């Protein structure tokens, strides 16, 4: 089976990594992973072919699209993307077109998706099944229902199935999408699409990082987005004041944090032998297996990484929408996850949080939350694609 998997990340990397995990689970199939954002340093499975569209991203204030390459015009990039996507379909003629988030989000990319969906519906590329790959909680729109109406019409017109990457005991789609009953195509909850660490890697990770058997490793992460500097700075300053002799701090800023902010943290870290600042860790789940505690932003993938590694953690949800806080608070009802607020970024409070996390034992995986979303998604995609 041949699958074109479309994923467009615009502000962070969460959508990319969740989509990649689903593509990874589609082993023994041919997957063409079509991405429109900056590619992270991540190794791909042999069955996944990566196709990079001319890059587009959203500015930090969600003020509109902009090219990732300086000097390029937005309309020029849009036209090139339309032609490239059309060429991929003409050449590959896939069995399945798997689209991440759209039409529930990515409205700004209708310019390239609707033309290809119209061509699929007209049968120009053969019998192509169209599937929507959707996260658990949506960013709600205060527009009198116009967005939901348009979304339902698009789903019912073009799509064959909706896959919701959530465990319904944690989050049901109709909590943030009131028109679920108007969707006429089949939909199913797959469980959360979670990355899994390799087995028996803790000692290897700690040895590689130079962490002694009597030392602790605290990880502070901004996730994969452009935000999070205030959290990282609070952790840095608080950790420095604590002066912990048997603990090391590894700060991961994410690949998209403002370069000046990264440089400032990096420069400050040179004054401390037990603080390291890096941009990215491609083996993040393995790293968490080797670490003893984590403080992070609260994106979908980070929360899943916490669940799969059971690391003592505190997370700060992104304040600009309520999606991250909703998820984190729901997960905290089933786990020991600590959910932070902005007032926790003070030095005094953050020092207490760090000390508390470092004294916690790693929990056992008894939360009973379904983390097999990638495997279940692959199974559903195969069923639809072979009809």
* Token pair listed for 70: 């300086």
Q: What pLDDT tens digit does each residue of the chain (387 aa) get?
A: 999 999 998 766 778 889 999 999 999 999 999 998 777 777 889 999 999 999 888 766 666 888 888 889 999 999 999 999 999 999 999 999 999 999 999 999 999 999 999 999 999 999 999 999 999 999 877 788 899 999 999 999 999 999 999 999 999 999 999 999 999 999 999 999 999 999 999 999 999 999 999 999 999 999 876 788 999 999 999 999 999 999 999 999 988 788 999 999 999 999 999 999 999 888 899 999 999 999 999 999 999 999 999 999 999 998 877 889 999 999 999 999 999 999 999 999 999 999 999 999 887 667 889 999 999 999 999 999 887
Residue pair 162/136 in contact by the 8 Å Cβ criterion = no
Helix, strand, coil share (%) of the chain residues, nearest 5: 40, 20, 40
How would you classify the pairing of strands 65-67 and 56-58? antiparallel
Residue pair 57/66 in contact by the 8 Å Cβ criterion = yes
Residue pair 123/93 in contact by the 8 Å Cβ criterion = no
Closest CA to 225 of 195, 256, 250, 252: 256
SS3 sequence of 320-365: CCCHHHHHHHHHHCCCCCEECCHHHHCHHHHHHHHHHHHCCCCCCC
- Positive or negative, the CA dihedral 169, 175, 180, 185 is negative
Backbone phi and psi for residue 217, each to the nearest 5 degrees, phi listed first: -120, 120
Sketch the domain layout of the chain as residue ranges. 2-194+371-385, 202-358
Superfamily of domain 202-358: Glycogen Phosphorylase B; (3.40.50.2000)
How many Å apart are CA 93 and CA 314, to the nearest integer? Answer: 46
- Residue 366 has, within 13 A of its CA and on its CB side, a CA count of 4
CATH pick for 2-194+371-385 out of 3.30.930.10, 3.40.50.2000, 1.10.260.40, 3.30.450.20:
3.40.50.2000
Cα dihedral: 302, 303, 305, 309 (round 10): 140
Q: How far is CA 155 from CA 136, 158, 182, 347, in A?
A: 17, 6, 10, 48
How many Å apart are CA 188 and CA 100, to the nearest integer? Answer: 15
2-194+371-385 and 202-358, same CATH topology? yes
Closest CA to 132 of 179, 187, 171: 187
């Amino acid at each position: 089976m041949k699958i074109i998997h479309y994923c467009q990340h615009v502000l962070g990397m969460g959508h990319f990594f969740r989509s990649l995990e689903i593509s990874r689970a589609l082993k023994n199939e041919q997957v063409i992973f079509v991405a429109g954002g900056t590619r992270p340093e991540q190794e791909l499975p042999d069955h996944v072919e990566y196709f990079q569209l001319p890059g587009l991203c959203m500015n930090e204030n969600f003020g509109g699209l902009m090219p990732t390459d300086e000097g390029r015009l937005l309309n020029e990039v849009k036209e090139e993307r339309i032609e490239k996507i059309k060429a991929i379909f003409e050449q590959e003629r896939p069995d399945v077109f798997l689209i991440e988030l759209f039409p529930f989000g990515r409205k700004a990319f209708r310019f390239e998706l609707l033309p290809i969906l119209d061509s699929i519906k007209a049968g120009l590329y053969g019998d192509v099944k169209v599937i929507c790959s959707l996260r658990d909680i949506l960013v709600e729109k205060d527009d009198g229902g116009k967005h939901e109406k348009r979304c339902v019409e698009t789903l019912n017109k073009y799509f064959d199935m909706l896959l919701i990457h959530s465990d319904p005991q944690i989050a049901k789609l109709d909590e943030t999408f009131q028109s679920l009953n108007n969707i006429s195509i089949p939909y199913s909850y797959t469980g959360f699409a979670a990355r899994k660490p390799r087995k028996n890697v803790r000692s290897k990770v700690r040895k590689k990082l130079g962490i002694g058997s009597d030392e602790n490793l605290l990880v502070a992460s901004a996730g994969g987005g452009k935000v999070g500097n205030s959290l990282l700075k609070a952790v840095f300053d608080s950790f420095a004041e604590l002066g912990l002799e048997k603990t090391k701090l590894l700060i991961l800023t994410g690949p998209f944090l403002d370069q000046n902010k990264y440089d400032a943290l990096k420069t400050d870290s040179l004054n401390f032998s037990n603080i390291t600042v890096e941009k990215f860790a491609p083996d993040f789940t393995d790293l968490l297996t080797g670490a003893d505690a984590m403080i992070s932003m609260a994106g979908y993938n980070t929360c899943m990484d916490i669940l799969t590694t059971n690391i003592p953690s505190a997370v700060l949800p992104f304040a600009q929408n309520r999606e991250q806080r909703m998820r984190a608070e729901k997960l905290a009802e089933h786990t020991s996850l600590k959910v932070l607020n902005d007032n926790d970024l003070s030095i005094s409070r953050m020092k207490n949080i760090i000390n508390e996390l470092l004294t916690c034992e790693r929990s056992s995986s008894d939360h009973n939350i379904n983390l097999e979303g990638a495997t279940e998604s692959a199974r559903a995609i195969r069923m639809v694609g072979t009809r």
